[in-house]
Amino acid sequence: MLEYFLVFLGAAIPWIEIMLVIPLGIIRGLSPVWVMILSFAGNMATIILLIIGFQQIKDWIERRNKKKGKGESKRRKQGEKIMNTYGLPVLALAGPILIGTHIAAFIGLVFGANKMTTLIWSAISIALWSLVFGILTAMGFDFFVSRT
């Protein structure tokens, strides 16, 4: 039971997320179905918290940047260009493998995406990638175990 809780917790932590937690849980011998479900739930829990607290986080970052005398960064301009070119769906779908789900959701919100739309696309992306990582790991692990 503790290992399943750790799967949930690991998936909730930015930069660890589903891409690492799902393969590790399955290789550890946990049920692939439960690993995928709990990873999805853990990752979504923190996405929901991010969306709820977005304005406070954004205000804090802006105050910090003003204090340091920073203007608009190159990264922000580049992020805005990506968001305007490809939109929230591509950002959300590519997020788990490129920059992480939390950062993808935050970037989308910073550049004007609706909170509910961000939540929906994040859920679709996390569900899709949970299935991909889970199925590929389970299939690959079965392949190697049955060969030895």
Residue 13 corresponds to which tokens in the numbers above?
Answer: 């932590």
Quote the pLDDT of residue 63. 84
Structural domain range at position 112: 2-147
Q: For 59-63, what is the mean pLDDT?
A: 83
| Residue 145 confidence (pLDDT) above 60 | no
Quote the pLDDT of residue 59. 86
Quote the pLDDT of residue 75. 61
Scanning the structure block, which residue is given the tokens 């550049």? 111
CA-based angle 46:52:118, to the nearest 5? 75
The Cα 128–Cα 8 span in angstroms is 17
pTM: 0.81
Q: How many domains does the chain have?
A: 1
The Cα 55–Cα 90 span in angstroms is 23
| Residue 45 confidence (pLDDT) above 90 | yes
The Cα 60–Cα 71 span in angstroms is 15
Quote the pLDDT of residue 142. 62
